[in-house]
Chain A
Amino acid sequence: DAKTTQPNSMESNEEEPVHLPCNHSTISGTDYIHWYRQLPSQGPEYVIHGLTSNVNNRMASLAIAEDRKSSTLILHRATLRDAAVYYCILGYSGNTPLVFGKGTRLSVIA
């Protein structure tokens, strides 16, 4: 499985932007970049995904490097409800399942 590297933890102040980095230097041409987050005692929640171009949705933005070896999840204004473990995962466009790494634990300070 293609692997990703994320910082173990990050901290942000409430209402400030948060940039969560992810390195995936061994990404292949068919790998999508997925971001999920997990709040305590809940299942993972889909955040965003992309292939080559930057993506925006109501939750976040995904900035993908030109060489696709890294990406950044951007939360434009962090709230206390954004405190969670964020997972960056590479996935094929096929039937293969998403394989989770350790993710980044985001703490948001009021």
Chain B
Amino acid sequence: GAVVSQHPSRVICKSGTSVKIECRSLDFQATTMFWYRQFPKQSLMLMATSNEGSKATYEQGVEKDKFLINHASLTLSTLTVTSAHPEDSSFYICSARRRGRVDTQYFGPGTRLTVL
């Protein structure tokens, strides 16, 4: 099966610092990656879509200067939460679409971010 990994699995940081989360497709090339976040007892909310080599497309209400997304290769996308604040504490999940297979998304295990 297609495997997507995320690193780190959990991170605790102080308010005002920046945090980078990596998302990798381990055994396939991902032309498109997606970033979601999930607050407790809620569903996943799409943040942005990123295509390899181009700028990410952000959903309405998501600040692109705060959540920096880079998709530099077909197997790696990064999400950087800049100047994190406690309200950014959430479960961040990435997802990847396999090259040549547009009908299925594969999800990473998620990253739990806690901002103190």
Q: Which residues of A contact B36 (CB under 8 A)?
A: 100
* Interface SS of chain A: loop
Complex Cα gap A44–B49 (Å): 17
Q: What total of A-B pairs shows CB separation below 8 Å?
A: 56
Q: How many residues of A contact B (CB 8 A)?
A: 23
Interface residues of B in 14-68 (CB under 8 A from A): 32, 34, 36, 43-46, 49, 51
Find B43's partner among A34, A46, A91, A103 (CB 8 Å cutoff).
Answer: A103
Find B91's partner among A34, A36, A41 (CB 8 Å cutoff).
Answer: A41
B112 within 8 A of A: yes
Complex Cα gap A78–B109 (Å): 23
Complex Cα gap A38–B42 (Å): 12
Q: Which residues of A contact B105 (CB under 8 A)?
A: 46, 91, 97-98
Complex Cα gap A36–B106 (Å): 10
A49 and B103 in contact, given A41-B110, A95-B49 (Cβ under 8 angstroms): yes
Q: Residues of A with Cβ closer than 8 Å to B? A: 32, 34, 36, 38, 41-46, 49, 87, 91, 93-95, 97-103
